[in-house]
Structure 1
């Protein structure tokens, strides 16, 4: 019987983007159905990637428009699709790398999340083709995976940086993306981002739940631990504006993240 570890690493080592999403959906379905045994294998340092898109340093990425024309809408959806492809790998990496030492519920959460990220990527890749583009047509950046590798040794740090900083940032910026698409008349693309936004609240909530669990297990103060982890392992800045209501819904109240916001210049 195939193990969950083998299935998770199989997702990571699949290079083609659509095949990676399909492997993630299959792994999530098989785990739910009891078709995968518990068991773990070595985890690769980084996942396989398709030949395209070209990966650039985040500072060398072109600025996107306001989603008011076709090219800017293609660029926006391509950027979000790239984030979702990375999110598939991030979810299955956390399963394969840290699942062996965590409760079954932790594994259940992150396998489910990996499947949802695969659904998101597939919706966006399909939509890109409908509006005359495809995933890989534009350059993208590798910043998400760099952040994950900086925390490969430390589950608390991974939870702090990935769901509680990077994914939480998605809660801040996605409503305006949806509004731009609606203003431009692209209601179908807006509906996809609305679905992603609703799911991402649950993903951040899972990050918060397991971050607090790990803090309790080690008798650590969550807010101070979060602040220390972000200052040590996140190279960017946690900056406003914040979607406080969505963050609160996800178990991330302002008192948690405001202490890590840099002072105004």
Structure 2
């Protein structure tokens, strides 16, 4: 696998016979139309879920001590390391928001962190277990809506750390990646921290809390496996894990509505809607990084399985022929367009052959980042 330090040299030799270049990728599909507006949007302070949707929280909802911790950091990378070292989930979410707010409102440098722990700080609960050991709704002692919210809260908490880990871990390569890369992923982290707070609030309203049932550590294992490769990180997290959230989101909303919990279904629907931006960011930066390297990372030969939410993936910028082997690529040959099943559709074709993913990911039945 190509190590991150190779980015400085931008080697042009392929790593395997099946590796491919992507010099024309951005001409072959359209990025999400809302990406520029998302990037330019102001800091979102709507951290509370009100009677009909997001609201501003009360002024005393954040501990004054958090402000001191955040103000002591001298760079964005330092802020990321602070979030990653915070174990309490609610504190992590609040500090994450304050960190992004400070980054946006002050002219901080990205800075650089030369070493990070392989895993972020975590609370004693939930107990982390293998995916097949996570209790199903019937065995969890939680009602279906609370069980689904807990799973989603766990995903959102992991997503906060995944985004900040991307910021801090790859900060030594600012000169290659550029300031906008780090702004985008700090922005993603801020969105995820808001999502976690909504889930946590709703769990409390139902009489439960995050940590009440065991959870899996799949997402952070993927983080660790991609800690030395920015292209692999971008492929595994936004293009596979978060894209699975696009697939699962509508199913969760439907199940919650059928359960009679319209309030929770609206929260999940809003979260799923906002995840499109995160996948689109991953698509854009994955293309950019791979274009700079002029080749893809080494392939591992795994299968990415459906069901897929094709329309949501397309909106986010992932064309169907990137991940669906039944879809041929249309190639322009003069006045005719002919399906060419053998042409490798650039970049994602397929992430199934690029990133090592556990097959269990395809059977989680819940949003994943």
One fold, TM greater than 0.5?
Answer: yes
Q: Is the Cα–Cα contact under 8 Å of residues 96 and 189 in structure 2 kept in the other structure?
A: yes
| Aligned equivalents of 1:99, 1:203: Cα separation in 2 | 19
**Deviation digits for residues 84-106 of structure 1, max 9, x if unmatched?**
00000000000001134211111
Other-structure match for 1:167: 242
Alignment of 1:14-93 (within 5 A): 14-34=86-106, 36-41=108-113, 42-64=115-137, 71-93=143-165
Question: 231, 237, 250: which is aligned to 1:156?
Answer: 231
- In the TM superposition, residue 2 of structure 1 has moved relative to its aligned partner by 1.6
Change (3 A) 1:129 1:237: farther
SS in 2 for 1:124: helix
Q: Do structure 1's residue 178 and structure 2's residue 244 form an aligned pair? A: no
User: Is the Cα–Cα contact under 8 Å of residues 137 and 143 in structure 2 kept in the other structure?
Assistant: no
Residues 213-237 of structure 1 deviation map (CA, whole Å, 9 limit, x = unaligned): 01111112xxxx37x55x37xxx75
Q: Alpha-carbon deviations, 1:127-153, whole Å to 9, x = none?
A: 000011101111101010001111111
Q: Measure, in 1, the Cα distance between the counterparts of 2:209 and 2:304.
A: 31
CA contact (8 A) 2:151 2:215 kept: yes
Tell me how large the CA RMSD over aligned residues is: 1.9
Gaps of 5+ in 1: none
Unaligned stretches of 5+ residues in structure 2: 1-72, 326-349, 354-369
Task: State the aligned residue count.
Answer: 250
Shift of 1:239: 0.8
Given that 2:135 and 2:213 are in contact with CA atoms closer than 8 Å, whether structure 1 keeps it comes out as no
Q: Which structure has more helix as a fraction of its residues?
A: 1
SS at match of 1:258: coil
How far apart, in 2, do the equivalents of 1:96 and 1:181 lie?
36
- Among candidates 278, 283, 308, match of residue 208 of structure 1: 283
After TM superposition, give the deviation of residue 169 of structure 1 in Å. Answer: 0.5
User: Are the equivalent residues in 2 in contact too, given 1:9–1:44 (CA < 8 A)?
Assistant: no
Whether contact under 8 Å (1:81, 1:135) holds in the other structure is yes
For 1:202 and 1:103, how far apart are their aligned partners in 2?
Answer: 19
Say if 1:12 and 1:92, in contact at 8 Å, map to a contact too: yes
Secondary structure, counterpart of 1:83 in structure 2: helix
The answer (yes or no) to whether the contact 2:110–2:179 under 8 Å persists in 1 is no
If the length of structure 1 is used for normalisation, what is the TM-score?
0.89
Q: Quickly say closer, same or farther: Cα 1:219–1:35, change in 2 above 3 A.
A: closer
Q: CA deviation at 1:40?
A: 1.5
Contact 1:85 / 1:118 at 8 angstroms: preserved in 2?
Answer: yes
Q: CA deviation at 1:70?
A: 6.4
Q: Shift of residue 35 of structure 1?
A: 5.6
SS at match of 2:126: coil
